[in-house]
Amino acid sequence: MFPALHHLRLGARPTLGATRAGGSPRGYLSQENEQRCRGLLETSTRRYRQEAVAAAVLVTLCSVSGYPALLYTLRSSTLTGHHKGDVSFPGGKRDSSDQDVVATALRETQEELGLHLGAESVWGVMKPLPTGRGLTVAPVLAHLGPLECVCLSPNPQEAQNHGYTHFCQQGRYSYTLPVFLNGRYRVWGLTAIITDLTLELLAPSTYRRRTRPPSTR
């Protein structure tokens, strides 16, 4: 389990350009869009629920005051290791008792956030992504519903895609990753990649991903 002591909400109110390009952002969590996303994820969900993926995270969709948002956890700064204090999705390594990656993501979310979510809240499983430490993580997309109905204290500040970080190896740019900023909080690494892919899935007409996610095979 990834320890989490703080919780925050990263979301964005609509801009005029976004509304014109793809309709009201409130529709991103509509039943119609949910069915569209479930359909797009049907093949990968069937496949990766049958594979023994090492870890899973729950990509926690929710709404705040009617607007779509994502719920993240903030890892404790007292932890040791490279990722202490990082913003992340709830999740962790697969347990031997977990039936599949969906069970892993739901169990970890219950342990971290105290949220008891049923399988009906899960929209599907996205393609697993490799970490820099040799693990493979499956993002499981789920909808929590209105955050006001959940016993958490979300951060009311808005967030935005602040840009992209270019990584240089041996004098040449080798790859680019998205970065999201929310005040003093930074969403980067695998969490930012999953966020990038999720936004493209939810709002393909208004959000354009400009990076290629790493592949496991």
Those residues whose C-beta lies under 8 Å from the C-beta of residue 123, and which sit 6 or more positions away, are 34, 37, 38, 41, 61, 141, 142, 143
With a CB cutoff of 8 Å and minimum separation 6, the contacts of 39 are none
pLDDT the model gives residue 214: 65
Q: How do the pLDDT tens digits run along the chain, 217 residues long? A: 323 323 344 444 433 333 333 456 778 999 999 999 999 999 999 999 999 899 999 999 998 888 888 888 876 555 555 555 678 898 889 999 999 999 999 999 888 888 889 999 999 999 999 887 778 999 999 999 888 776 543 323 323 334 444 344 455 444 567 777 777 777 878 898 999 999 999 988 888 777 666 665 5
* pLDDT score of 216: 55
Domain boundaries, the chain: 6-155
According to DSSP, residue 95 is labeled P
Q: What is the pLDDT of residue 71?
A: 87
CA distance 64 to 58: 18
Q: What pLDDT does 76 receive?
A: 59
**DSSP assignment of the chain:** -----EEEEEE-PPPHHHHHHHS-GGGGGSHHHHHHHHHHHHHHHHHHTSS--SEEEEEEEEEETTEEEEEEEE--TTS-STTTT-EE-SEEEPPTT-SSHHHHHHHHHHHHH-----GGGEEEEPPPEE-TTS-EEEEEEEEEEEGGGSS-----S--EEEEEEEEEETTEEEEEEEEEEETTEEE-HHHHHHHHHHHHHH-TTT----S------
| 194 close to 59: Cβ distance less than 8 angstroms | yes
Fold category of 6-155 in CATH: Nucleoside Triphosphate Pyrophosphohydrolase (3.90.79)
Claim: this prediction has a pTM higher than 0.85: no
